[in-house]
Amino acid sequence: MTTAQTPESFMGRTAVDPQGDKIGKIGQVYVDDVTGQPDWVTVNTGLFGTKEHFAPLQGASVSGDDVVLPFDKNVVKDAPDVADASHLDPDEQDALYTYYAQYLGTTGTGTGTADYSATSGTAAVDTTAGTADYSQTSGTRTEGYDTSGPTTDEAMTRSEEHLNVGTQRVEAGRARLRKFVVTEQQTVSVPVSHEEVRIEREPITDANIGNALDGPAISEEEHEVVLHAEQPVVTTEAVPVERIKLGTETVSDTQQVTGQVRKEEVEVVDDTTTSTTSATSTENR
């Protein structure tokens, strides 16, 4: 390819042939072990995208949202099948290199654990250090760093997946402030007064003797006085008593989350013995 691209820049793009005909969606991206640049992709083909075919990115270009591969779509669909798309063994690599070399022509020497032959047009795969493997990138995950081979040291890296736990703010519900009217009974003590009759007697004096002798000496008569009393009068009046509004506060809590993680294990296969030795490391979390 003419410009450097990240593996993520190919994910989900549509692979097309030089005529612009759609081949399929790009599924996984494989990077070169040495340069870290995308080297191979898998293309999902078929009616529902159920078939997955390998295709090299050598000579490919990016056009908008499409990745233009340098061969016809039938070439990709007729590529050799790979049993496990997450791993390429030497025989599968050899078959893929040999198949695509006839369409790419003279391509020069590549990097990584395998390269195209510049003269014969066939693929050469080094198998002295076990099975060769490209680093696979699917989404943001990368596997298979430093596979031992002619361009790396004598060690391989064993990797583990760790859980990355974070939080996100989501709507958990809604609270509404609603006002309604209720009726209740209240009892209030109200002071009231009333008038009562009492008899007042006063002696006859020079001042009132005229009133006392006014009228017949002996007679029957009535006198009337109006009595008054206070009664409670009840009315209502609406008055503001307080202001109410909704507020929020943050309460911290702890929740447990569970997820599955993968780890690589390493074993030593010694052809001179019948035993297999496993080598793993543990880490306290």
The pLDDT of 81-108, averaged and rounded, is 76
Per-residue pLDDT, 132: 38
pLDDT of residue 273: 74
Give me the mean pLDDT over the 128-156 stretch: 47
Helix (H, G, I), strand (E, B) or coil at 116: strand
Range of lowest pLDDT (78-92, 205-219, 268-282): 268-282
Inform me whether the pLDDT recorded for 190 exceeds 90: yes
Terminus-to-terminus CA distance in the chain, angstroms?
42
Contact at 8 Å (CB) between 62 and 68? yes
Tens digit of each residue's pLDDT (9 = 90 or more) over 24-72: 999 888 887 777 788 888 998 876 656 888 999 888 888 888 999 998 8
* d(C-alpha 102, C-alpha 189), whole Å: 109
In the chain, domain spans: 7-148
CA distance 36 to 130: 21
Helix and strand counts by DSSP (H, E) for the chain = 3, 12
The pLDDT score that the predictor gives to residue 158 is 86
The string of pLDDT tens digits covering residues 225-248 is 999 999 999 999 999 999 999 999
Lowest mean pLDDT among 90-99, 214-223, 268-277: 268-277
Q: Which CATH architecture group holds 7-148?
A: Alpha-Beta Complex (3.90)
CA–CA separation, 92 and 133 (whole Å)? 10
Tell me the C-alpha distance between 23 and 72, whole Å.
8
What H or E segment, with its residue span, contains residue 95? Answer: helix 90-104
Q: What is the pLDDT of residues 96-141, one digit of tens each?
A: 888 988 887 644 333 333 333 322 233 333 333 333 344 444 443 3
Please give the mean pLDDT across all residues of the chain: 77
Task: Give pLDDT, residue 140.
Answer: 39
Per-residue pLDDT, 109: 37
Overall average pLDDT of the 179-186 stretch? 93
